[in-house]
Amino acid sequence: MGDDRNTGLSLLIIPADAQLTGSIVSAGSVRIEGRLEGEIKIQGDLTLGVSAEIAGSVAARNASIGGRVDGDVTVSNLLEITATGTLRGDILTKDLAIERGGSFVGANRHHSISDSPPLEGCREAAGWLGIRD
């Protein structure tokens, strides 16, 4: 994923012992090792470590899921589910990679295909990231 050190964007890190409730909205990138109940809307990259647990929707430029997400995920470029990652929810992305051992349960829609609108749960996030039909 991108290196925000060269772009001037900020990086927010949430450690494994943190438990948050609410929304994260950022122009930068975020790395989460802890728990979040709420939505994530970032214009940078999202990295979820092995111990990360997210209950809510996600919107990001790129995302790597090494922990667990229960919610819809909208990514403007690459969504990666690593061997330790679990995603339960609908996704809208340009590119999808699932490593052996990774788990995905939900509907998948590639935004480069414009023959039908985004999945209902991903519609708002798609507009926020600038993805158009």
Residue 108 lies in a domain: yes
Residue 131 lies in a domain: no
∠ Cα 113 115 120 (to 5°): 85
Alpha-carbon distance of 104 to 43, in angstroms, equals 23
The whole-number pLDDT of residue 103 equals 97
Residue 64 lies in a domain: yes
Alpha-carbon distance of 72 to 69, in angstroms, equals 8
Domain count, the chain: 1
Work out the pLDDT band at 84, boundaries 50, 70, 90: very high
Domain with 59 in it = 4-126
Confirm if 83 and 103 have CB atoms less than 8 A apart. Answer: no
The whole-number pLDDT of residue 8 equals 53
* Average predicted confidence (pLDDT) for the chain: 85
Work out the pLDDT band at 55, boundaries 50, 70, 90: very high
DSSP 86-133: EEES-EEEEEEEE-TT-EEES-EEETT--SSPPPGGGHHHHHHHT---
Residue 77 lies in a domain: yes
The whole-number pLDDT of residue 3 equals 47
Q: Which helix (H) or strand (E) holds 30?
A: strand 29-32
What would the pLDDT profile of 11-24 be if each residue is shown by its tens digit?
Answer: 889 999 999 999 99
Work out the pLDDT band at 110, boundaries 50, 70, 90: confident
Confirm if 42 and 60 have CB atoms less than 8 A apart. Answer: yes
- pLDDT exceeds cutoff 80 at 96: yes
Residue 93 lies in a domain: yes
